[in-house]
Amino acid sequence: MNIDVYGAEVLCPSCVNMPSAKKTHEWLQAALDRKYPGKSIQVSYIDIYTADLKGERREFAEKVLNDEYFYPLVVLNGNVVGEGSPRLKVIYEELGKLGITSEI
């Protein structure tokens, strides 16, 4: 299972008091590792300014660059599950819909 967190080094103008996309990536990976120990859930950080993105990743990066989404943008199986200030509860619910359950 892979979750993508899209963002950039520079904070978005409306995200001044929020964590960066990289911090969100690290926080989300740690939270999922605690909640779902032993499950293969990988959180990937995707820099929206990376020129060699392809396919779905390129499409989401372009949508962020075109202000269709705020970053950090969290995408699970092609579905947006968080934007700007992602909520763990929503991400957990989406994982539950995919049959991923917590050991806790």
Tell me, what's the pLDDT at 17? 66
Give the count of domains, the chain.
1
CA nearest to 69, candidates 81, 84, 57, 56: 84
* pTM for this entry: 0.90
- The type of residue at 1 is M
Per the domain annotation, does 38 fall within a domain? Answer: yes
Per the domain annotation, does 103 fall within a domain? Answer: no
Q: CB of 65 within 8 A of CB of 75?
A: no
Average pLDDT over residues 67-85: 93
Per the domain annotation, does 79 fall within a domain? Answer: yes
CA 97 → CA 44, 65, 66, 92, distances in Å? 21, 29, 30, 9
Tell me, what's the pLDDT at 5? 96
Per the domain annotation, does 37 fall within a domain? Answer: yes
Per the domain annotation, does 104 fall within a domain? Answer: no
Tell me, what's the pLDDT at 87? 93
pLDDT tens by residue, 10-68: 766 666 667 788 999 999 999 999 999 988 899 999 999 988 999 999 999 999 999 99
Whether the pLDDT of residue 75 is over 80: the answer is yes
Tell me, what's the pLDDT at 46? 95
CATH of residue 59: 3.40.30.30
Residue numbers of the domain that contains 60: 2-97
Whether the pLDDT of residue 81 is over 80: the answer is yes
Per the domain annotation, does 102 fall within a domain? Answer: no
Tell me, what's the pLDDT at 19? 76
